[in-house]
Structure 1
Amino acid sequence: MKSGHSTTRDLKQALQLQARRAGEQAPSVRGSDWRTAVVTAVNADGTVEADGFDWRRAETYQAPAAGDLIVVSQSGNGNLIAHGRMAGTTAPNGAWTSIPLASGFTTPHTVFGTAQYRIVTAYGSTRVELRGSVDATASVTTQTSFSTALPAAARPSVTRTWIGRRNYSADTKGVAAMEIQTSGVMSVFGSASPSQTDWFALDGCHYDL
């Protein structure tokens, strides 16, 4: 039979072990630290759930998704921050995707590459970058839609415009104005003959959401 002293010691050790195990999971006990975690849910209030806690997303952590492997940190007073996504084999935010072209337009033009877009974070805001080029099967002389609707995540809150390279004669290059509407449809502003638009490039172009 254990003595009273031995029983008290065993109980103390058991309570210390229980407290230590609880502390390993409680941010307020663990103190300042960082680690990686997997997102299990995305909340509407700017937080993501991981390891059973809600972590406040940094402004640069855009387009969060369940399954993201992220870097999280906690302060000594229990504040929880989700810094952003770790790089992976695929990127839900930033993967180059072909632009869905409307009838009458094809890609690519000669060596300029396929017309594509990707969603990125720049200076704390979300932006869409463009690249590649588009051929018109018939010369464009007026404002003409060259894409069908892009996904909702790539549609701006207002109509956005940009300038890109185009042809206007066999040996001289010009520029063309383009825009994307809130519906996600892109259009190019053609010009009248003999300066009509037969192809245009998207390299270096972008718009903010």
Structure 2
Amino acid sequence: MTSRPALAVHRDLSAALKSQAKRTGEQSPSVRGSDWRLATVTAVNTNGTVDADGIPAIRRMDTYQAPAVDDVIVISQSSSGNWIAEGRTASATDPVGAWTAIPLASGFTSTHTVFGPAQYRIVTAHGSRRVELRGSVDCTSSVTAQTNFSTALPTAARPSVARSWVGRRNYSANTNGVIAMEITTGGVMNVFGSASPSQTDWFALDGCHYEL
């Protein structure tokens, strides 16, 4: 058998070494440097970590609250090989962000234009979902007792337990300027009016919110 020239052998050896070094660098964080990727959560652990795409114990950022299996999250790896979960990404059908008209019940309108129409939106605050409210509601007839002022909101905007908040209302010498409201787990909002002469003619939602 004819032996190969030494130059060809050296060239092949050099190419093999370069290829091996490239593969090692691609697989080693200390060579590759930090990186990020998307991953799907497969387990939520009790020590502040999640497992995702076969990677165990990825430390969660403080802003990544209420993690759940099947969350699509952003994970990053440091040059030392440590992983961190930065937070979940939004899906194509995510309802977060859009201001939507509150479906008002009979006897209520949203014509108090000084404050704008009664609306809600779903947002993420500190890693958890909540509903923010704005605008105002007018009462066709003065409200003097607990009364439903909305029909049921969509399932995505309904809380896990009943939530309550305080908002502004019409004010005169015979009334105070605040009023209590709530939303049930069925998505219906209530306003707590009071008897004459402190009946409620309109109330505002600006600055109000509730947790889901």
Alpha-carbon distance in structure 2 between the residues aligned to 1:44 and 1:184:
31
Displacement of 1:49 in angstroms is 7.0
How far did 1:92 drift? Answer: 5.0
Corresponding residue number in structure 2 for 1:167: 170
Correspondences of 1:34-73 after superposition (within 5 Å): 34-35=35-36, 37=37, 39=38, 45=44, 58-61=61-64, 72-73=75-76
* Corresponding residue number in structure 2 for 1:33: 34
Counterpart in 2 of 1:17? 19
Change (3 A) 1:41 1:23: same
Work out the CA distance in 2 between the residues paired with 1:22 and 1:185. 59
Q: Percent identity?
A: 64
Greater C-alpha radius of gyration: 2
The yes-or-no answer on 1:144 pairing with 2:151 is: no
Partner of 2:109: 106
Equivalent position SS for 1:167: coil
Q: Is the 8 A contact 2:159 2:211 kept in 1?
A: yes
| Residue number in structure 2 paired with 1:155 | 158
Residue 128 of structure 1: aligned partner: 131
User: Is the Cα–Cα contact under 8 Å of residues 61 and 83 in structure 1 kept in the other structure?
Assistant: yes
- Counterpart of 1:206? 209
What is the deviation of 1:112? 0.2
Q: Which ranges of structure 2 fall in alignment gaps of 5 or more residues?
A: none
Whichever residue aligns with residue 93 of structure 1, its letter is V
Deviation string, structure 1 residues 87-125 (Cα, Å, up to 9, x no partner)? 9xxx85333333222233222412101222233344454
Relative to structure 1, the CA distance from residue 77 to residue 152 in structure 2 (aligned partners, 3 Å threshold; closer, same or farther) is farther
- Count of residue correspondences: 200
Match of 1:113, SS? coil
CA distance in 1, matches of 2:33, 2:122: 33
Query: Residue 168 of structure 1 contacts residue 196 of structure 1 at CA under 8 Å; is this kept in 2?
Result: no
State the shift of 1:154 in Å: 2.8
Counterpart Cα distance in 1 of 2:62 and 2:177? 38
Matches within 5 A, 1:171-190: 174-190=177-193
Report the Cα offset of residue 22 of structure 1: 6.9
- Asked if 1:193 is matched to 2:209, the reply is no
Unaligned runs of 5+ in 1: none
Distance 2:83 2:74 in 1: 11
